[in-house]
Chains A and B, each alone.
Chain A
Amino acid sequence: DAGITQSPRHKVTETGTPVTLRCHQTENHRYMYWYRQDPGHGLRLIHYSYGVKDTDKGEVSDGYSVSRSKTEDFLLTLESATSSQTSVYFCAISEAGELSYEQYFGPGTRLTVT
């Protein structure tokens, strides 16, 4: 199994509060991603990173920001949480240069915004 951990695994927060989710990898992979999974939508890319301090937006980036100051850590921040951001969040990693485009996923964080 790829060495990917996510913290916290579960969180309940109130509308309007900031929330930060952490993804940590031990594989030294260059690429890291944040997805959200919602019923009827599958997995949708929020933000991704292609190196330290190099990040870009995915298809559902509004209301989210990310930071990557070290290869192993990728942080997702909800600046002011809303109920629409209640979801399961997955971090993934991949290695640049391979032709397979496989991504390896963490165990997920279930976030509930009340």
Chain B
Amino acid sequence: DQQVKQNSPSLSVQEGRISILNCDYTNSMFDYFLWYKKYPAEGPTFLISISSIKDKNEDGRFTVFLNKSAKHLSLHIVPSQPGDSAVYFCAANRKSSGDKLTFGTGTRLAVRP
């Protein structure tokens, strides 16, 4: 049972435009959400996170939005740059599970120059 879903396996965006990556979850007990970026042959790197008590968190060009009623979160990258081309994973945590994360399947973002 996939509790965290990224239904778009890939996304292509023009440089300078907005990239929107989506993530849905089914477990209402999740209370913390994270986005990771992964380049080929490297480990995932933490990008940005949001607590369930917030609906938005911003860090430079990256903004994460959380809609708890829809069990949906999204990552906005503005403006998109070619160096943003990578696989993006969303992940979720619930306090009762300790520090364990549940990951989505990933979305491959390609930013065209």
Chain A residues within 8 Å of B, Cβ to Cβ: 4, 31, 33, 35, 40-45, 48, 50, 58, 90, 92, 94, 96, 99-108
Contacts and interface: CB of A to CB of B under 8 A. Distances in A.
B49 A100 contact: yes
Contact of B43 (A41, A90, A96): A90
Interface stretch (B62-70, B75-83, B100-108): B100-108
Contacts of A100: 32, 49
A101 B101 contact: yes
A48 B34 contact: no
A43 B103 contact: yes
Interface in B66-113: 89, 91, 93, 98-101, 103-106
Interface residues of B, number: 24
Contact of B106 (A42, A101, A102, A105): A42
A48 B46 contact: no
A74 to B, nearest CB: 14
B103 A101 contact: no
B7 to A, nearest CB: 12
Given A42-B103, A43-B103, A90 B44 contact: yes
Given A101-B93, A106-B43, A42 B104 contact: yes
A31 B93 CA distance: 15
B43 A31 contact: no
Nearest to B42: A107
B108 to A, nearest CB: 11
A31 B99 contact: yes
B100 A58 contact: yes
Contacts of A104: 46
A104 B91 CA distance: 13
